[in-house]
Structure 1
Amino acid sequence: MTTILRFAPSPTGRLHIGNLRTALFNWLFAARQGGQFVLRFDDTDRERSTREFADGIAADLAWIGIAPHRTIRQSERIALYDAAAETLKAVGLLYPCYETPDELDRKRKRLAARGLPPVYGREALKLSEDERAALEAEGRKPHWRFLLPNFDADPFTPKRTELSFDDLIRGPTTIDLASLSDPVLIREDGSYLYTLPSVVDDAQTGVTHVIRGDDHVTNTAVQAAIFAALGAAMPRFGHHNLLTTVGGEGLSKRSGALSLQSLREEGIEPMAAASLAVLVGMAGSIEPMADLGALGERLDFAVVSNSASKFDPAELGRLNREIVHGLSYNAAADRLAAMGIAGEEAEDFWLAVRANCDKVPDAGGWADVVFGEIAVPAPEDDAEAAFRAAALRLLPDGEIGPGTFKAWTSAIKAETGAKGKALFLPLRRAITGLDHGPELGPLLPLIGRERLVKRLAAD
């Protein structure tokens, strides 16, 4: 049997790094099993779901290297959910309720005041046909709840009903269905919450495994009951720990916090984001993986922490620097060309400056230093002015090449006696206008004689 996993985002915002963790756990597991990965847009929320967000999510996944084998949209599958709802209604497992949100809130508060759990009391099951008709005549429209199998004969006398499953990540897991309210599956306006469509789609598309955040553990127990009610096989579920900000706040698509779009626009490398999204909260070192295949080899559900893990942007910066410092010219060429860095000198330039770039776009600043007109700071004192004059006079004749810098600095050292920092810092200031940066030797041929002379001669 083919292993099939799915990632099911709601297109109500851009993906953040926490969403990426879930997507990659599913993608990497499917790849390791030689299986398939389904991208499913849970877009039944008519007000907040947009095609623009869906397209953005697809672009974010493509940036990481995730290519779905199949893409489906729940908004195009409503007939399947309607059929499932009718099946549940026919056997009395989906029943109409007429309480308003305000009435439900008051009920929960009364239960809390009595020290009782805020579990729905199934009062709507007591309504007669005439009472339902009267409520609808008032203009009330029902929402529909699924009757959980947590009782023997009397639904108003629930009993402890343990639903157990072997979680792919957490191991044996048990939920008491009596501790849960009957879930609302259909809103007053007839639209579906995600619960029933998710079960129907998992069954219809042959999903074998579902990996998602551990905030869905109780939802899995509810969905297990719905799978059983529909006579469908339940996938193997796994629940991973969630990511938070360094301050402990949850991540949100709508807030845009750490969105993949923003990371991409900032120049973050996709494998830096992917590596941290997967490896944070796992045993072992966090290091940049070369590609998704290598990252998949590191994925081990047995060593995923049970507690939330904090996503530190500083750690992402470290991983990104490591990747950029080893990035080949071919891997960076298109992005460099987009910044106007192209031609026969482009590769030498990149190899000279990449170790001083946190991100590929940083090369643009070094291109200005190397190829542009820069403001060289005035000498700090007469000694530095004399040093520059000597450096200009001792600049070797002929073409500036790979060996020029060594010969030049040897001549300056011999005449002035300067060495170490006293030699290289004033020379760097005169050549680049900065007191830090890439090694000067590889830069000299790129800067060229004309610019060198002009900068050394500047007052």
Structure 2
Amino acid sequence: MKVRTRFAPSPTGYLHIGGARTALFSWLYARKHGGDFVLRIEDTDLERSNIESVNAILEGMNWLGLDYDAGPFYQTQRFDRYREVIQQLLDEDKAYYCYCSKEALETMREEQLARKENPRYDGRCRAHAEAKTDAQPVVRFKNPQDGAVLVDDMVRGRVVFQNTQLDDLIIARSDGSPTYNLSVVVDDWDMGITHVIRGDDHLNNTPRQINILKALGVEPPRYAHLPMILGPDGTKLSKRHGAVSVMQFRDEGYLPQALLNYLVRLGWSHGDQEIFSLDELIELFDIKDVNHSASAINPEKLLWLNQHYIKTLEADHVARQLSWHMGQIGVDPSAAPPLRDVVLAQRERAKTLAEMAQNSRYFYEEFAEYDEKAAQKNLQADAVPVLTALQEDFAALDESNWHAEPLHEIIMAVAERFELKLGKVAQPLRVAMTGSTVSPPMDQTLALLGKNRVLARIQRALEKIAKSA
């Protein structure tokens, strides 16, 4: 039997990190076992589903690199198939029409609560439902009235549900549209899904779905229900905890490799190992090693992972990701210097790509103004001879030799000539080049800026000092 997993989000919002982790675990399980990973869009909630959310889900999957082998399939394109199965269940006396009004159901609920019973449909239309011409009935599934459903969960172990605790759920609304529990069963059946990996908020749906599948004569898939992801404070994850959309992490400057590595460790581990490549995850991942308890997000750990990947991934790859962030702040990274070289210069001092983009603006455009404290301290009259000497020596350097090593030699020679410590030469030069006191080593910074920019910025700094005198 070929393994076939699926990720089936509802397009009523963005791809959040809980959904992304579910997709990742399903993807890893399929890849590890040589199976297929299916993407299905469960868009039967016509009031809340929208194309913007569909696009956000597809964008998030693409950014994370979670490629799928089939799909995306859309439930709204399969209504005829759902109606066919509903009719089959009606014809085989495994489902029935229910004409109970909302008022009757509410009265039933109130009476059950008054008796301190769990509210549930009491099956009054199961044996015989009198057709009403002025009402559109729903269709209910005839759930078994005795016995139990055993869910052999790959994460939680054996979970038993008594059929007496399960009522006859609605499988078709009064307008004929299928409900979630019917459509998901038909989809898993038709698409040959062998393993369903999803959040544990779906656990109570599982015995109902198993009963429908058995009524249709279908072998249920294996199920694995993942524990919740909590906020740092241990409460249910929500917008107040910050980023919950996958693409928001992209916008804030995280690499997809960092987020995937972070998500897989929310509930799964392999000894004390913290850093995993995708190939390692495929080799090592085992759904049986997923924890039973909920995991809390740790923003500091994610930031640490992101910095690790910025430092260690191929510079060309980081540059491709950084390019988008440069564009977001209005900088065209196609001009010199090559973005790959900027990554190599900046990667040791940036935790996010958004931070790296902001800190690299001065390589591509003139900075608007000097940092006030930096200029006040470093661009004073005593810096004029030093900057002038540097300007002359840089001007004399042939552009074919405009590299870090010759530039470093010039800086050292000027410091020796004026009998100054290196910082007394490098800091005024750094402020002249960047507008602040923060940059990569000066020889790298000068090499990236290019000869013309360097000479022009020294001149700009000298003019500023003259005006301030």
- Could you tell me the TM-score, scaled by structure 1's length? 0.85
Q: 46-55 or 373-382, which moves further after superposition? A: 373-382
Post-superposition Cα deviations, 1:360-406, rounded to whole Å, max 9, x if no partner, equal 34444334323433323567768862542243144244335312235
> C-alpha displacement at 1:30, in angstroms?
0.5
1:296 to 269, 282, 290: 282
Q: RMSD of aligned C-alpha atoms?
A: 3.0
Structure 2 residue 456 is matched with structure 1 residue 451: yes
2:6 and 2:162 mapped to 1: Cα distance?
27
1:360 and 1:453 mapped to 2: Cα distance?
29
The equivalences for 1:31-50 within 5 A come to: 31-50=31-50
2:408 to 405, 410, 414: 405
SS in 1 for 2:380: helix
2:143 and 2:261 mapped to 1: Cα distance?
40
Alignment-derived partner of residue 112 in structure 2:
111
Alignment-derived partner of residue 97 in structure 2:
96
1:376 to 370, 373, 378: 370
SS in 1 for 2:404: coil
> C-alpha displacement at 1:235, in angstroms?
0.8
Structure 2: which amino acid aligns with 1:316?
A: L
> C-alpha displacement at 1:76, in angstroms?
2.0
Structure 1: which amino acid aligns with 2:189?
A: A
Structure 2 residue 321 is matched with structure 1 residue 321: no
> C-alpha displacement at 1:454, in angstroms?
2.2
SS in 1 for 2:125: helix
SS in 1 for 2:105: helix
Structure 2: which amino acid aligns with 1:119?
A: R
Q: 33-42 or 326-335, which moves further after superposition? A: 326-335
Structure 2 residue 138 is matched with structure 1 residue 143: yes
Query: Residue 4 of structure 1 contacts residue 206 of structure 1 at CA under 8 Å; is this kept in 2?
Result: yes
Cα 1:59–1:200 change in 2 (3 A) is same
Structure 2 residue 268 is matched with structure 1 residue 282: yes
- Residue ranges of structure 1 left out of the alignment (5+ in a row): 152-160
SS in 2 for 1:238: strand
Structure 2 residue 70 is matched with structure 1 residue 76: no
Q: 13-22 or 87-96, which moves further after superposition? A: 87-96
The equivalences for 1:221-232 within 5 A come to: 221-232=207-218
Alignment-derived partner of residue 365 in structure 1:
358
1:424 and 1:112 mapped to 2: Cα distance?
78
Number of equivalences: 441
2:161 and 2:460 mapped to 1: Cα distance?
73
- Residue ranges of structure 2 left out of the alignment (5+ in a row): none
Alignment-derived partner of residue 154 in structure 1:
none
> C-alpha displacement at 1:210, in angstroms?
0.8
Query: Residue 375 of structure 2 contacts residue 436 of structure 2 at CA under 8 Å; is this kept in 1?
Result: no
1:341 to 333, 337, 345: 333
2:435 to 421, 433, 436: 433
Structure 2 residue 6 is matched with structure 1 residue 13: no
1:331 and 1:351 mapped to 2: Cα distance?
11
SS in 2 for 1:224: helix
> C-alpha displacement at 1:419, in angstroms?
5.9
Structure 2 residue 356 is matched with structure 1 residue 353: no
Post-superposition Cα deviations, 1:22-44, rounded to whole Å, max 9, x if no partner, equal 11111111011111111112222
Q: 48-57 or 244-253, which moves further after superposition? A: 244-253
Query: Residue 17 of structure 1 contacts residue 273 of structure 1 at CA under 8 Å; is this kept in 2?
Result: no
Structure 2 residue 381 is matched with structure 1 residue 389: no
2:168 and 2:99 mapped to 1: Cα distance?
14
